Chain A
Amino acid sequence: MAVTVKTFANASEAAGALSSDRSARYLGGGTLVMRALNEGDVSISTIVRAQDQALSRIDASGPRVTLGAGVTFARILAERDLSFLHAPARSIGGPAVRNMGTVGGNLFAPNPYGDFTVALLALDATVAVQGGFGARDIPIEEFLQARDRQAGTLVLSVSCTRPASADAFRYRKIARIKPKGGSVITLAAHLPISGGRIVGARIALGSMAPTQIRARAAERALEGRSLDTATIAAAASAAAEGTSPSDNALGSAWYRREIVGVHLRRLLSGQE
């Protein structure tokens, strides 16, 4: 079925078109929307595009990093200043998908995809969106909780604070195929250290709930402690708490609950 394609020069016009039409979807890299069209998704009758340079801007010079929603994973991998995001970017797709898929689109990618968003959730990112009401910033966790209702808003950019050291941010994706494949589970940890203690621990999980979620019980087990064997064991045993994984072709809900603690322990103890 043919759809109407509306192309706009700037993001705010595109946001207006998106918010006024319930059957409109924003086309980023195409890996979600074109796939839906190929599968005959009749709920989409309008495709909205914006050719706005601001959407593909990267600001990585300072401690606060901002990525335009249209920035591709290939561009993140080409940016030396974004090395802390290279592991999650590299874990996505093959080269073609990384040349196409965008940071903004990844926020909407359902399981077993959306790995980059797991990293952004652990980094307490902020999502800048524009709807019919104007532009505003939303904490990523709040954005994800209301993701089903975000279809009418246009994501402009995502920002986060650069981790203090390479060791403070860790990422691990478990897939059945190497080097590529959908996620069985995905884990990211941000562990800022102050005076030898973890302050502001963030553990984010992918494929452990309908959207990417924080493992709050594991965070509590880490908070205010040093990253020793006992602390890691406590966090690992709390990893599945509050999760609600599903069965899919890559793994069962039971299997995901069984392995999430194992992989969190490996992530926290720096094992390959």
Chain B
Amino acid sequence: MTKIPLQFRHNGRDVAIFVDGGTNLLVALRELIGDMTPKFGCGQGGCGTCSVLIDGELHLSCLTLAETVAGRAVETLDGMKQGPNLHPLQRAFADNFAAQCGYCTPGMLMAAKALLDRNSSPSRADVIEAISGNICRCTGYEPIINAILAAAGGRASA
């Protein structure tokens, strides 16, 4: 089977890889680029832990055909920290105990970033809607919602 050449921007850096036909973006990121931050959860679009931003828009990488991102910008959790410093969302997740096992966290952070990039002062309802495609089986969601509100500068108890 012929390999397909694919070029795109990965966290601000140009990457070029060869993919098999039908390869999804999650496999391309993890196995071909070595970015292990997006996780494989369900492979069905039900859990959200593989969430990435494509041209700033939240997408599920496991349901994205890799070659459809040719020439586009893909952002993952790996690109979120700024040098040695955590991104304010990561800091807020740590401060608010928003991660327990941590498996959903990459997707939660990308969903939260997609929200805050468009709406810097979201309501609690906006936050709940923004992470409604992301499943967490540990925290009961409250610490995650509070962390996102805290990162947005809102009151965590609001």
Contact = CB atoms under 8 A, between A and B. Distances in A.
A199 interface: no
Between A95, A99, A179, the greatest number of chain B beta carbons within 10 A of the residue's beta carbon is seen for A95
A100 B44 contact: no
Contacts of A47: 21-22, 65
Contacts of B62: 34, 38
A163 interface: no
Contact of A30 (B20, B58, B65, B128): B65
B61 to A, nearest CB: 9
A195 B122 CA distance: 45
B21 A35 contact: no
Contact of B44 (A35, A49, A179): A35
Most A C-beta atoms less than 10 A away, residue of B20, B21, B63, B128: B63
B39 interface: no
Nearest to A5: B21
A160 B156 CA distance: 44
Nearest to A6: B21
B43 interface: yes
Query: Which of B4, B59, B62, B132 has the most chain A CB atoms closer than 10 A to its own CB?
Result: B132
Interface residues of B, number: 32
B132 A31 contact: no
Contact of B133 (A27, A49, A96): A96
Interface residues of A, number: 27
A176 interface: no
A180 to B, nearest CB: 4
A37 B1 CA distance: 16
Which 9 A-B pairs give the minimum distances between C-beta atoms?
A: A94-B133, A3-B22, A38-B43, A2-B20, A180-B132, A34-B63, A2-B1, A94-B132, A30-B63
25 contacts: A1-B22, A2-B1, A3-B22, A4-B1, A5-B21, A5-B65, A30-B60, A35-B43, A35-B45, A47-B22, A49-B68, A93-B45, A94-B111, A94-B132, A95-B58, A95-B129, A95-B133, A96-B51, A96-B59, A96-B111, A97-B45, A100-B60, A100-B64, A179-B132, A180-B132
Interface of A: 1-5, 7, 27, 29-31, 34-35, 37-39, 47, 49, 74, 93-97, 99-100, 179-180
